[in-house]
Amino acid sequence: MSALLRLSRFIDALNERVGHTVAWLVLVMVLISASNAIARKAFAVSSNAFLEIQWYLFAAVFLLAAGYTMLRQEHVRIDVVLGRFSRRTQVIVEAACIVVFLFPFGLIVIDLVWPLVVKAYLMGEMSSNSGGLIRWPVFALVPAGFTLLLLQGASEFIKRIAFLQGLVDDPGRKNQDKRDEADLAEFLRQQAQEAKK
């Protein structure tokens, strides 16, 4: 089990890094969107490529951060029924759902999408919009994102089995580390206090 827990920590670190990196794409999207709006309004210049890259980046954020979201226990849950059971029963149900629902669904999605990625790459498929972008990179985000999600699912399954064996703390507890926003707010508060002195 110790080797599996090491694998779980590696997967967690991978998705943590991907999540933090992908978060910067939100800023890139905002800058592209603002630049495109300014160019369109001020200079009557626009490009379909700028519009498409925004939704490519949105797809990247949504898909590539799915594993990170699962790591942070931030997926939407409806615990109306499950919340009435003991934590041990909840963990058993969570582990079973990972195996019965997440793994098959993720593998089916990858299996269905991969031929489209290959076809788009080999054909050099382009957007039908004038000045649009090539399509295979955005198609490739689907299997990449689901691969990261499946890896995180495996990590979560390992942690739940280890919890049931009494080897680790509750893996379903949300990560209580400070968020970047909280760190920034604290830094700004300290700067404001120092400026008053």
Q: Is residue 41 part of a domain?
A: yes
Q: Is residue 163 part of a domain?
A: yes
For the chain, percent of residues with pLDDT exceeding 90? 58
Residue 95, both tokens: 């582990």
CA-closest candidate to residue 11, choices 150, 152, 147? 152
Alpha carbon 197 to chain centroid, angstroms: 42
Cβ atoms of 132 and 51 within 8 Å: the answer is no
Instruction: Tell me which DSSP letter residue 47 carries.
Output: -
Q: Is residue 72 part of a domain?
A: yes
More confident residue, 197 or 34: 34
Q: What is the mean pLDDT of residues 65-70?
A: 94
- Note down the domain range covering 50: 2-173
φ, ψ of residue 22 in degrees (nearest 5): -65, -30
Q: What is the mean pLDDT of residues 146-174?
A: 91
Which amino acid appears at position 197 of this protein? Answer: K
Whether the full predicted model's pTM is greater than 0.75, yes or no, is yes
φ, ψ of residue 134 in degrees (nearest 5): -70, 150
**Residue ranges in 72-135 assigned as alpha helix (H):** 87-97, 103-123
Please name the helix (run of DSSP H) or strand (run of DSSP E) that holds residue 45, with its range, or none: none
Q: Is the pLDDT of residue 43 over 80?
A: yes
For residue 31, what pLDDT is reported? 93
Q: Is residue 181 part of a domain?
A: no
Domain count of the fold of the chain: 1
Q: Is residue 179 part of a domain?
A: no
Structure confidence at residue 150 as a pLDDT band (50, 70, 90): very high
Structure confidence at residue 177 as a pLDDT band (50, 70, 90): low
What is the widest separation between alpha-carbon atoms in the chain? 65
For residue 183, what pLDDT is reported? 67
Q: Is residue 84 part of a domain?
A: yes
Q: What is the mean pLDDT of residues 173-183?
A: 61
Cβ atoms of 4 and 10 within 8 Å: the answer is no
Q: Is residue 113 part of a domain?
A: yes
Q: Is the pLDDT of residue 131 over 70?
A: yes
Q: Alpha carbon of 80 to those of 69, 162, 174: distances in Å?
A: 21, 25, 18
Q: Is residue 137 part of a domain?
A: yes
Structure confidence at residue 100 as a pLDDT band (50, 70, 90): very high
For residue 152, what pLDDT is reported? 97
Contacts of 54 by beta carbon, 8 Å cutoff, 6+ apart: 29, 32, 33, 36
Q: How far apart are the first and last CA of the chain?
A: 55
Residue 153, both tokens: 């699912």
Cβ atoms of 48 and 131 within 8 Å: the answer is yes
